[in-house]
A = this chain, B = another copy of it.
Amino acid sequence: MKSLGKHLLVEFYNCNPSIIDNMKLVEKYMKEAAIEAGSTIVQSVFHMFQPHGVSGVVVIAESHLSIHTWPEYKFASVDLYTCGEECDPLKAYKYLRDKFESSNADIKELQRGFIDNINISLEEEACKVAVNDSYDRRNVL
């Protein structure tokens, strides 16, 4: 079934703890991963917890990339949610797996926003989403 977006939920196990506890590095890699995926960065927010751990989100025109790290567990939880045909979140996944030096990763792919369900709620035929419409999101500004 056609959908607006693709969402990869990634669990990176056995990461390098000194990398995933470094907020500057995590932010850098997440932004680079967004570019690798072919997305357009809008804004980002990153936070360093005490005594350790980083949380961050890169909002993109095509949805978002997020991360939460547990350096004490060598674990990072990442979401790569993109819309449109131009982005490939799998490229972001491969990039981050390499940068975080994760030797064991679990990845699930879910579809977001099913077109059939959207069309059921749109009463005006003119508004309905055609199967071959571009699902790219709007202009950034």
- Distance of A44 Cα from B81 Cα, bound (Å): 18
Asked if A138 contacts B7 (CB within 8 A), the reply is no
Q: Which residues of B are found within 8 Å of A11, using beta-carbon distances?
A: 112-114, 117
Q: A9-B110, A47-B59 are in contact. Are A121 and B74 (CB under 8 A)?
A: yes
Asked if A64 contacts B68 (CB within 8 A), the reply is yes
Chain B residue at smallest Cβ distance from A42: B47
A28 at the interface (CB under 8 A from B): no
B-facing mask of A19-58, CB < 8 A → 1, else 0? Answer: 0000000000000000000000011110101111101110
CB neighbors of B among A106-126 (8 A): 106, 108, 110, 112-114, 117-118, 120-122
CB neighbors of B among A47-95 (8 A): 47, 49-53, 55-57, 59, 61, 63-64, 66, 68, 70, 72-75, 77, 79, 81, 83
B-facing mask of A97-109, CB < 8 A → 1, else 0? Answer: 0000001101010
Chain B residue at smallest Cβ distance from A104: B121
